[in-house]
């Protein structure tokens, strides 16, 4: 990282990142001059860093599955028939009435029991007075449409209606847990009524989901914007802007829908305009989205690698997104994402700007062998994201209960008093054993399940900073499958 344009940045960006630049680039020059160092730090940290802070909650990949228990029943499943006929307010009683074998276990999406347990834990965090929450996508179970066809055979209720009622049920439970604060929804690849990775712009599902979460969202633009194509922006305060993207539109797995491609291009243009607006209004920016940018390392494992596109996004959208971030005058403090069900991260960096941390939130659903998990973030009025706690439900224990898994600053930068989150993330490298071992432990929310091989850890490390196929292959050149992929790209 090289400082080349610091003198052209606005005063807010200087203040926010003054301490960062000092630590990274000037500390070696003045370590022998303790008095000068103290004076320099005082200049940058007073008074702008003596700022108030707030909490907010991030929940992701709930994958609520109302069909659990139906596999032991003949179709149509009596539970589903009862849910179809009843209003959403009666669903909780119906789950209890039908004595569903309700379990919380690995390799299964979220049951109503796990949803209830999560809601009870979130209620405890209401005492921390969070100012908002973000639901980072994938509210519905995997294969939701297939399960409906199997267990709701000959149903009089349409799949669209049942999908909407399921969204309502989850939204009502989350709002009961976190009353009086907005819960900002994000579209995930399993959210919709037309298929996996398929979201219809201007469709009924988007409009209904906007209805489901509108009750505590005061921003008058939210409903129409979300109903349009699932992306929107919120001014959290005079100094903070939340930009919510619908990254399903950018996915390599979206069904090449002309309507989705049109919406994706509109979203790219809109993002650029939103960042300009944030700069004009002197706001720093949080970006939230479900599917991350970059490389899906899980597609680079195994014999089918050479037959798969490992990119999360179509190349044109990846490049456009990175170009916008590089050229934007706005201060982007972090990107919040999910999709992988893991507690990982990325770092977007270029020569002329401070690095941008990309922070993943693990899943509530334990379907991929992870423990259920969510995050409580600390957001400063002037310093951006300063810390977070991760909470988990350790299913490997005999009597699991929700508890704090780790605190970010205590784990990755215990001796730092005013560091940014990016400082701690940059310590998580294989040569920094104490931090890397912690990262490996927490990647699957302390699950004792399957672990990565040496090659898989190498692939994971490359995916943290390499966002296009060629650079990823060059980083991951030690793998046989990587070489196959590189040959595919070259020839």
Q: What is the pLDDT at residue 233?
A: 98
Record the tokens describing residue 243, joined without a space: 């930009």
Q: Is a pLDDT exceeding 70 seen at residue 349?
A: yes
Arithmetic mean of pLDDT, 152-167: 85
Report phi then psi at 54, rounded to 5: -140, 160
Other Cβ atoms less than 10 A from the Cβ of 27: the count is 12
The Cα-based distances of 443 to 147, 287, 358, 420 in angstroms read 30, 22, 15, 21
CB < 8 Å & 24+ apart, contacts of 153-157: 153/75, 153/76, 154/76, 155/76, 155/80, 155/81, 155/84, 156/84, 157/84, 157/85
Q: What is the pLDDT of residue 299?
A: 83
pLDDT of residue 103: 81
Q: Write out pLDDT tens, residues 424-469.
A: 999 999 999 999 999 999 999 999 976 788 888 888 999 999 999 8
Q: Are 55 and 378 in contact (CB under 8 A)?
A: yes
Cβ proximity of 421 and 358 under 8 Å: no
Residue 56 pLDDT more than 50?
yes
Domains and their CATH numbers in the chain:
6-45 (no CATH), 51-176 (no CATH), 177-490 (3.30.750.180)
- pLDDT grade, residue 78 (50/70/90)? very high
Phi/psi of residue 354, each to 5°? -60, 145
- Which positions ≥6 away from 203 have C-beta within 8 Å? 193, 194
Give me the percent of the chain exceeding a pLDDT of 70. 84
């Amino acid at each position: 990282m090289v400082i080349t344009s610091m003198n052209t940045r606005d005063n807010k960006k200087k203040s926010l990142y003054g301490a960062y630049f000092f630590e990274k680039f000037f500390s070696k020059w003045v370590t022998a001059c303790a008095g000068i160092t103290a004076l320099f730090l005082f200049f940058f940290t007073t008074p702008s860093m003596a700022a108030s802070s707030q909490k907010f909650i991030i929940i992701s990949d709930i994958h609520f599955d109302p069909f659990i228990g139906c596999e032991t029943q003949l179709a149509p499943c009596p539970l589903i028939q009862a849910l179809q006929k009843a209003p959403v307010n009666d669903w909780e009683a119906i789950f209890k009435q039908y004595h569903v074998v309700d379990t919380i276990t690995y390799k299964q999406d979220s049951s109503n029991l796990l949803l209830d347990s999560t809601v009870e834990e979130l209620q405890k965090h209401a005492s921390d007075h969070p100012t908002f929450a973000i639901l980072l996508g994938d509210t519905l179970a995997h294969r939701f449409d297939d399960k409906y066809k199997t267990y709701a055979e000959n149903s009089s209720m349409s799949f669209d209606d049942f999908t909407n009622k399921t969204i309502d049920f989850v939204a009502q439970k989350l709002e009961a847990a976190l009353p009086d604060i907005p819960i900002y929804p994000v579209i995930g690849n399993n959210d919709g009524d037309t298929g996996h990775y398929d979201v219809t712009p201007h469709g009924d599902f988007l409009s209904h989901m906007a209805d489901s979460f509108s009750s505590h969202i005061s921003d008058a633009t939210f409903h129409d914007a979300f109903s349009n194509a699932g992306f929107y922006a919120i001014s959290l305060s005079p100094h903070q802007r939340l930009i919510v993207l619908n990254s399903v539109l950018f996915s390599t797995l979206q069904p090449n829908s002309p309507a989705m491609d049109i919406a994706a291009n509109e979203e790219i243009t809109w993002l650029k305009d939103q960042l300009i607006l944030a700069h004009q209004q002197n706001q720093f920016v949080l970006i939230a989205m479900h599917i991350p940018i970059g490389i899906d390392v899980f597609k680079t494992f195994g014999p089918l690698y050479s037959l798969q596109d490992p990119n999360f996004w179509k190349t044109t959208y990846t490049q456009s997104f990175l170009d916008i971030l590089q050229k934007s005058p706005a201060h982007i403090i972090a990107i919040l994402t999910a999709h992988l069900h893991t507690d990982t991260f990325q770092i977007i960096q270029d020569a002329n700007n401070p690095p941008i941390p990309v922070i993943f939130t693990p899943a509530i659903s334990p379907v991929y062998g992870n423990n259920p998990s969510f995050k409580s973030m600390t957001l400063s009025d002037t310093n951006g994201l300063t810390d977070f706690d991760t909470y988990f439900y350790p299913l490997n224990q005999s009597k699991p209960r929700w508890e704090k898994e780790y605190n970010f600053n205590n784990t990755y930068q215990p001796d730092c008093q005013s560091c940014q989150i990016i400082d701690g993330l940059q310590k998580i490298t294989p040569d920094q054993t104490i931090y890397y071992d912690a990262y490996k432990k927490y990647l699957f929310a302390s699950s004792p399940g399957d672990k990565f091989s040496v090659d898989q850890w190498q692939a994971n490390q490359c995916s943290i900073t390499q966002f296009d196929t060629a650079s990823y292959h060059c980083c991951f050149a030690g793998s046989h499958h990587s070489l196959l992929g590189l040959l595919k790209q070259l020839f």
